[in-house]
Structure 1
Amino acid sequence: MSHWIMAPLLLPLLAGMVNLLLVRHGPGPQRLVSLLTTAALLPVAILLLLRADSGEIVLYQLGNWPAPFGISLVLDRLSAMLLVLTALLALPALVAATAGDDRRGENFHVLFPLQLFGINGAFLTGDLFNLFVFFEVMLIASYGLALHGGGRDRVRAGLHYVVLNLIGSSLFLVAIGTLYGIAGTLNMADLAIYTTTAAVEQTPLLRAAALLLLTVFALKAAVLPLHLWLPALYSAGIAPVAALFAIMTKVGVYAILRTFTLILPVTGPGADVAAVLPAVALLTIALGALGALGAHRLTVLIAYLVVVSVGTLLAGISLFTVPGLTAALFYLPHTTLITAGLFLLAALIAGRRGAVGDQLQAVAVNPGNLLGGLFFLAAIAVAGMPPLGGFLGKLLLLQAVPPPQAPWLWTVVLVGGLAAIVALSRAGSSLFWRTEGEGVAGTGLPLPLLTSTVLLLALTVALTVWAAPLTRYAEATATQLLRPQETVEAVLGREAGR
């Protein structure tokens, strides 16, 4: 067994532990530890991606206990891609925090790596109960990060977030308890065998567990109508935390994708999910677009665009075909990086506008041509306009949809994109063109924050340049996901997969 698969877990876990010991020494030593470990995650994730790109599904058994009795970590194309995406996002977000946001509380550099530990663990685990454990680690860290810096708005949004996720965690336990009571196992590969061969009398319980899991993961992903926590939380938090949180909704999307291609396939116990998910995805896009149109602050607008992106991803996933999954997987890194970059850009713009901040109203101070150019680039990218990757992802999605669903999906996706363009145009006009009223005292452009913003936007452009290899990788990943027997054979052995 290769031990490299443990590195995305051990590095942030050790960083959090070390930074806890360094709290009394101030942010300087903590910053160094966080930056070194977060930077080290990127080459490790790329190494694992190269391993997974061969098509091999890598299994790691902690303590060398065989599956399904031990704790299994499983690396495939999907988990490797998301590990790289997390590393690409985490480093700029952390660098942006060193502009001063990390000084607003003494535990930032303890919570930040623990958040990465939970996210990476969720992507790697091969066990449904350990998915719950990593979800809880991720959520506990996110509670602290959401409240970092204090303030009434953060506390209010954080409390709503905590209460909703406690309810979601309780439902998650009920769902996995139901599955364990039926199958006697929570290993994902082992469950995949059981659910496809279960007796007819077990079908109602399996279908109920499937709908419970969909509800839980929809809450994590901020899917209609379980999205209400997201705009308030993301807009109230500090910019680096909001940027990191751009990956959190994708953890929920990942869980939906993994569960209903492996554990509860839509051709079996997950059939109800296949019937519900397309409509939920399109309604999520529509509601997110309406929220963006009605936003009066830039960060709220961006938060609703995150909701739109989740709906777009689920629209592709809900097809459960190779073209549909390919479109979703191609679109996923683009939307994650561009929304993260927009949250950092919003902080730069708010700093330049002084007390008015990111409110979409005219002031006498123009944020400047540099920020205006970055906003224009980001707006094109996030709205899905050509020639950037968002346009290519939506084009793949429109091509993937079968004729019976085409009128609905084409209409909602295209109208949602138009709504995003209108909302962003209105925001750009208020922020950069209309200069009226009293002058306000703005600040400069903090170099760490500006550098991180430019880097995330540049990564979005790079994804467009590398669209061909990314599309091939996404297609290979989609094909692998729709062949769950390969994962079963890798985890439990060839005889079990037959």
Structure 2
Amino acid sequence: MAALQAFWQAHAPVLSVLLPSLTAVALLLLGDHDGPSAQGGGHGSAARLARRRALSLASATLGLLLALALVARASSGELTVYELGEWPAPFGIVMVVDRLAALMVLLTQAVALPVLGYACGGWDTRGRHFHAIFHFQLMGLNGAFLTGDLFNLFVFFEVLLIASYVLLLHGQGRERLRMGVHYVVLNLTASALFLIGLAIIYSVTGTLNMADVALKVAQLQGAELRLAQAAALILLVVFGLKAALVPLYFWLPGAYAAASAPVAALFAVMTKVGVYAIVRVHWVIFGLDAGAATLTAQPWLLPAALMTSVLGVLGALAAHTLARLVAYLTVASVGTIAAGVALFTPETLSAALYYTLHSTVVIAGLFLFVELAAAQRGAVGDRLQPAPAVREPVLLGVMMLFGAASAAGLPPLPGFLGKVMLLQSSAGLPAQPWVWSVMLGVGFLTLIGLARAGIVMFWHVEPAQPAPSAGGSARLLAAPWAFMALTVALAVGAAPVKAYTDAAARQLTDKAGYAAAVLARHGGPQVPTTRPYDGRVPASAVPAQEEAR
């Protein structure tokens, strides 16, 4: 036990990346020769499928336990740095676990386990190597959250994107192929811009380690400063596309609506990677105390965030299928989160992090609900038009009512608590009228859109047609119930969760503490002393903000 604890203490940050990658390799070696017909392929095929499922679920469960341990370790305020190959930063690659990184890894694993259980109800047999690709996706997600280096952020972005290309097409179909082509082309373009932005940053700072870049950007002047600000805006475009911010959100509704239910549910985390990258780059590097480069993105980010929420909810109102409605609500939720980030105070960031947990869990559950409801509506599927009555109206009605209430922000669910936190934390800021108007209006319109969908699904029925006989199996229903339980847990445990997000936001403002932990090892670079952010915009930031406007 002591040896195991020592191993964990020494290698905790990298284990959350190694576990899914080694699991994916093991699943590939195990083989997937049964193909899409595994369920009916005889005892041998069923046994191989059972082994793949057992290994995949066991790995996801262990990953969740590791993520819980990371959060417990980070909650003390300890910032853990793991040097790959024992090369010290900024020369070597490092993985860094702070409160935010640990929280995002936990969110990823908490979504992945129920989704994987749902996929084991049959979706994993509709294509080759589903479980292996799923774990490669987890590897990319966890790596993106844990890396302390901008170039390796790009590397992990590519890992998770390559896996997502395959998962989006899982189950095949013309619509998935069409949306998949758009998805791949746009993300390849964003990857090229990502590299350009990194090249510019490296040219003016000589490093891509996040802590080192943050220190050197604050010292830039003249042409080098202008180049760094240009790179910051290029990266904002890249991360905005991945997060689905206006005007770069148009790819998401079609892609998410076309994906299979478990894939769409997992993709609820994908947009949060873009928001996370915005926080890391535009809070830690180009955020507060960044000299003349302070708050480079603020004049662009806040209007884009508010417009994203508005256009997202309008798209939900106009949606003709339940899947597209939920996809547009994903866009609207991203706008709400980004607005909290764009206000650049620890209080609004903390509220945005709490809302991130809620929206990801609720959206993932709603995507699974869409398929369960569509399966009981015959040929109509998830289209919002009259159809035969569903077989389980009470069960599906409760699920939809719960998801709609939480997505719209009705009390006492965490959607309500998250929005109240955002409204309270934005009080007194210059953008308060815009933020309050948009958030309250979006919540009201979200309720109208989901109420409309519920009325069509449960009241506009066609009794003359025979109702479908299929109902949800226990394995399929377990995942939506798990997400509902997580939603309730976020409401019941709102106080400790908010305390954690408060501490995470404050930790992000302590640039000197982050740099000291990452760089001041093995005689590394000396870190200048700064104070945590006190809520006031530094005077040095004013000229840069005015020029950006």
Q: TM-score if structure 1 supplies the norm length?
A: 0.98
1:419 aligns with 2:450: no
1:167-215 deviation per Cα after TM superposition (whole angstroms, max 9, x unaligned): 0000000000111111111010110111011233311101100000000
Aligned equivalent of 1:328: 352
Aligned equivalent of 1:368: 393
Aligned equivalent of 2:406: 381
Aligned equivalent of 1:199: 221
Q: In the aligned structure 1, how far is the partner of 2:63 from the partner of 2:33?
A: 25
RMSD of Structure 2 on Structure 1 (CA): 1.3
Aligned equivalent of 1:138: 160
Q: In the aligned structure 2, how far is the partner of 1:24 from the partner of 1:461?
A: 38
Q: In the aligned structure 2, how far is the partner of 1:138 from the partner of 1:72?
A: 19
1:382-413 deviation per Cα after TM superposition (whole angstroms, max 9, x unaligned): 11111100101101111111342111111111
How far residue 25 of structure 1 moved from its aligned partner, in angstroms, is 5.1
Is contact 1:179–1:209 with CA below 8 Å preserved after alignment? Answer: yes
Aligned equivalent of 1:470: 497
Which amino acid letter does the alignment assign opposite residue 166 of structure 1? L
Is contact 1:83–1:120 with CA below 8 Å preserved after alignment? Answer: yes
Aligned equivalent of 1:296: 320
Aligned equivalent of 1:88: 110
Is contact 2:140–2:160 with CA below 8 Å preserved after alignment? Answer: yes
Alignment of 1:241-260 (within 5 A): 241-260=263-282
Which amino acid letter does the alignment assign opposite residue 331 of structure 1? Y
Is contact 2:378–2:388 with CA below 8 Å preserved after alignment? Answer: no
| Percent identical | 49
Is contact 1:292–1:301 with CA below 8 Å preserved after alignment? Answer: yes
Q: 3-state DSSP class of the match of 2:218?
A: helix
Tell me: CA distance 1:442–1:430, structure 2 relative to 1, closer, same or farther (3 Å): farther
How far residue 29 of structure 1 moved from its aligned partner, in angstroms, is 2.1
1:41-80 deviation per Cα after TM superposition (whole angstroms, max 9, x unaligned): 1111111111100101100001111111111000000000
Q: In the aligned structure 2, how far is the partner of 1:293 from the partner of 1:160?
A: 24
1:6 aligns with 2:31: no
Alignment of 1:397-412 (within 5 A): 397-401=422-426, 402-412=428-438
Q: In the aligned structure 2, how far is the partner of 1:81 from the partner of 1:271?
A: 25
Alignment of 1:414-453 (within 5 A): 414-436=440-462, 438-453=465-480
How far residue 442 of structure 1 moved from its aligned partner, in angstroms, is 4.7
Q: 3-state DSSP class of the match of 1:386?
A: coil
1:481 aligns with 2:508: yes
1:18 aligns with 2:26: yes
Alignment of 1:162-311 (within 5 A): 162-265=184-287, 267=290, 268-311=292-335
List runs of 5+ in structure 2 lacking aligned partners.
1-8, 35-48, 530-549
Which amino acid letter does the alignment assign opposite residue 372 of structure 2? L
Q: In the aligned structure 2, how far is the partner of 1:269 from the partner of 1:459?
A: 40
Q: In the aligned structure 1, how far is the partner of 2:473 from the partner of 2:189?
A: 39
Is contact 1:207–1:270 with CA below 8 Å preserved after alignment? Answer: no
1:3-32 deviation per Cα after TM superposition (whole angstroms, max 9, x unaligned): 121111111001110111122454332212
Q: 3-state DSSP class of the match of 2:287?
A: coil
Which amino acid letter does the alignment assign opposite residue 360 of structure 1? L
Which stretch shifts more, 265-274 or 196-205? Answer: 265-274
Q: 3-state DSSP class of the match of 2:527?
A: helix
1:328-370 deviation per Cα after TM superposition (whole angstroms, max 9, x unaligned): 0111111000000000111110111121111111112234211
Q: In the aligned structure 2, how far is the partner of 1:202 from the partner of 1:271?
A: 17
Q: In the aligned structure 2, how far is the partner of 1:435 from the partner of 1:19?
A: 45
How far residue 493 of structure 1 moved from its aligned partner, in angstroms, is 1.1
Which amino acid letter does the alignment assign opposite residue 399 of structure 1? Q
Q: In the aligned structure 1, how far is the partner of 2:171 from the partner of 2:275?
A: 29
Q: How many residues align?
A: 498
How far residue 376 of structure 1 moved from its aligned partner, in angstroms, is 0.4
Q: In the aligned structure 1, how far is the partner of 2:256 from the partner of 2:136?
A: 19
Q: In the aligned structure 2, how far is the partner of 1:52 from the partner of 1:288?
A: 34
Q: TM-score if structure 2 supplies the norm length?
A: 0.89
Q: In the aligned structure 2, how far is the partner of 1:16 from the partner of 1:313?
A: 32
1:355 aligns with 2:355: no
1:30 to 42, 52, 55: 52
Which stretch shifts more, 28-37 or 457-466? Answer: 28-37
How far residue 448 of structure 1 moved from its aligned partner, in angstroms, is 1.6
Is contact 1:355–1:441 with CA below 8 Å preserved after alignment? Answer: no
Q: In the aligned structure 2, how far is the partner of 1:34 from the partner of 1:497?
A: 46
Q: In the aligned structure 2, how far is the partner of 1:59 from the partner of 1:492?
A: 10
List runs of 5+ in structure 1 lacking aligned partners.
none
1:400-444 deviation per Cα after TM superposition (whole angstroms, max 9, x unaligned): 113421111111111111110000000000111221263353522
Alignment of 1:41-190 (within 5 A): 41-190=63-212
Q: In the aligned structure 2, how far is the partner of 1:93 from the partner of 1:67?
A: 37
Is contact 2:232–2:297 with CA below 8 Å preserved after alignment? Answer: yes
Q: In the aligned structure 1, how far is the partner of 2:244 from the partner of 2:109?
A: 22
Is contact 2:30–2:52 with CA below 8 Å preserved after alignment? Answer: yes
Q: In the aligned structure 2, how far is the partner of 1:323 from the partner of 1:50?
A: 22
Larger Rg: 2
How far residue 265 of structure 1 moved from its aligned partner, in angstroms, is 2.0
Is contact 2:350–2:505 with CA below 8 Å preserved after alignment? Answer: yes
Is contact 1:210–1:270 with CA below 8 Å preserved after alignment? Answer: no
1:496 aligns with 2:527: yes
Which amino acid letter does the alignment assign opposite residue 300 of structure 1? R
Q: In the aligned structure 2, how far is the partner of 1:376 from the partner of 1:412?
A: 23
